[in-house]
Each structure stands twice: as structure tokens, then as C-alpha cells.
Amino acid sequence: MENYTIYFPKPGVADKLVEYDPVSKTKKELMSFTTDGAFGICAFKDKLLIVGYFSGNKLISFEPSTGSLTVLHTFNTTNTFAKAINMMPSGDNVYFWYPNGSSKYSLFVSKGVPSTTIALMDNFTAYDEFTYYSSNIVKAAEGKLMAKVNTTGDTSTEFTLYSDGTVQGTKLLEFNNVKLSGSTDFVYYCKQFFFIASDGSGSNKLFSTNGTNEGTKKLSDIPVRELVLFNNRLYLSDGNSNKGELFAWNDKNGKIEFVLDVNDAARQSEPREFRAIKDKLFMVAVRSNLDLSYKLAVMTEPFRSKEDCSVSSSSEQYVSNFSIFPNPSATDFFIDAEEHIYSPIQVVISDVTGRIILQKKVDHFPAIINAHDWTSGLYIVKLISADKNSETYRIVKD
């Protein structure tokens, strides 16, 4: 992933879309828009998809190679929701939350071309606006997407995971006594969801769930802000203000461990948004409390941080809004085994016709399988231990 470009919004009298080349460290302003509405951006196939205010609240596509702009959808609302929107590409679709007026919000899906944007789940009451628009939507097993929805109006009682699977809006499970917050993120890892939410103490903590209320538990009392899966480990940012520390979850001993202090004491900076792209961990919007600017740091293992770019924003709205182009598709799968499947294990992956795509011996789990050269579709994974125990499950390549 050496040849990539970063795109982010720059606020001003007329907001700009900025292109940043990390090799030459040069920035170029591309086009103007206004942020009277919510804003989101993501790389999707050969273009950027942008939600913003372009003479109305719209979803547009922008092609960096030609500079052409196409309106994909006009949202039927004139409300001003100065909120960040996280957009989730998956296969041929992009998913995102969007406010649709009168304190309502919808989960939208778009194929990135005109007349393909629809509300998948519509007209939920926005009890906590920031929670919905900024919350991420994650891809889990067999191509399903999960998104959280509060259906009670009481953010202290429950939230629900939904799937876009075969039945739109299918309720998967409810969590009681877990408070929604704007910092809530989800990561699907080792057949579990890890997420950040408040435990009622006033700070956010790390939780995990296996898909049942009984299997949902708080993992640590350490305040955390965000989490990301990077190089087969869960990394978390410190939830204490101005303490720019990076943590990792140790699944062997069940503890959160200190990794690195990225705080600049002179500026009291803190990490606000993490994004893992291949071999790099992007720590977005490292904030300076003195000048209220946002920076971009890029980290690789062993961890050393460097400031690559000043985003020059004083608005929380822009913290999570940047995109790497072209978008490196999710080609790495995490293969895990049940407890009765002992290492070393033979991994056999075949397509739906029975043709073997990959066969290899794996000594440690979870293991990473690179599917860069595979075509999109369903694949069968079979794990065979030395004592001939086996396990079979499915994965989907976008």
C-alpha cells in the first residue's frame, strides 16, 4: 500500500475537499461545498462518495482521475445536522446513517450510481443524534452487516444490533444496562463482537459479546475511547482527556495493556480516530488543545508516530471524515478454530464448486488468510486437526 492518496474536508468560508499526497507531503484543494448538513466521505471502487451540502443535502460521487462530480441522491430534508457520518463500503454497496428530518434517521444503502440509494431501515427516532450518524457499521460472518439502533428512547437501557441479511431490519439481540454513546464502535474478531460503550460510570469501557445477553460482558474498567483491529490485535485509545495513550487488548490474559504514549505534552494532544489500512495504522485528528487543530499521524509496527499532515480543522464534525484512495478492499480473513480443534491445523478453502483455492498448515490461531487474488463470492473453510477433528464454516469475499 505504497501508492495512496488521502482526502479530507477543510472548513472555511467555502469548505474545500483536500487531496494530500503522503509521499511529496503536498496538499491540493479540489472543490468547494458547504457543511450546513451532515458530512461523510469514503473511497468506493474508482471514486469517492461524499455526503454533504451541495445546494441541498446530497450524496455525490467524485472521480479523482477526472475531477467529475455526479449527484447520486438528494435527501428530502433541509435540516442542519452538523454531524460526522461514517460510511461503510461492502461489496457492491455502501451503508451509512443519515438524518432525514424531525429528529429521525435512516440506514441508507447505495450502489454508488444514480437511482440506487434507498433507506434500508427508515424513520428511527434520533434520541442521541451523534450516536447514530458517527457509529460504525461492521461486517461480520457470511457477509452480514451489523448496526446499532436504540428503539426505546431511553439511552440508558438498551441498544440493538441489526443485520441487513436476508430480512431487512432483523433484530439480532438487545443489550440491557449498556449505555449508548457517541464513542461506540464495533469490531468483529475471533467470532465475537468487541465494542465500546458506557457502563453507567460516566466513562466508556470495552465490552464483548458472543451474540447473547448472557454472553455480553465488560472486559475492563480502564476508560477507552475507540478501538481498531490492526495486525490481528485490538488497539484502543485512552478515554481520559489529554492522555494520548495507545492500548492493546491481550486475549491471552484478558487484560488491556499499555503500548505507547503518543501525547505531545506541550500541546496536550490526544488521539481521536483510528483507521487501520493494511500495514499502517492511521491515527486521525490528533488534537491540539491549544490551537484546536487536527493532525494526521501514521503508525507502523514497531510503533513510532509521525505527523504527516495538518487537517486544519476546529470542528468535531471533521474528526472521522477522511478517506484513503484507492480503497484497499478487505482482503484479509481471520481464520479461527474451536477449542476442540488443536494446532497444528490443515486449512482447506474451496469455492462453491468444490475447487480448492488454498491449502496450508497453520500453527497458531487466529490466523490471517490473504484473499487478494480471489474472485468475489462464497468460500468454504475446513479446518482439520492432527487427530482428524474438523470444523467447517463459510466466508464471503466482497
230-275 residue pLDDT tens: 766 788 877 765 566 778 888 778 888 887 776 554 444 555 566 6
The span from the CA of 24 to the CA of 20, in Å, is 9
Q: For the segment 310-359, what is each residue's pLDDT rounded down to a tens digit?
A: 655 545 455 556 676 665 545 566 666 665 566 678 888 888 788 888 88
Residues with Cβ within 8 Å of residue 53, at least 6 apart in sequence: 33, 34, 35, 36, 37, 39
Question: From start to end of 319-389, where are the E strands?
Answer: 323-325, 332-335, 345-351, 356-362, 367-370, 377-385
Tell me the domain boundaries of the chain.
Answer: 135-219, 333-397
Is residue 206 within 8 Å of 189, Cβ to Cβ? no
Peptide bond into 366 cis (omega under 30): yes
Residue 73's pLDDT is 92
In the CATH scheme, what architecture does the domain 333-397 have?
A: Sandwich (2.60)
Which of 48-52, 54-58, 232-236, 282-286 has the highest average model confidence (pLDDT)? 48-52
Residue 309's pLDDT is 58
Residues with Cβ within 8 Å of residue 382, at least 6 apart in sequence: 347, 348, 349, 350, 390, 391, 392
Query: What average pLDDT does the segment 83-95 reach?
Result: 74
Mean pLDDT of the chain: 68
Q: State the DSSP code for 210.
A: S
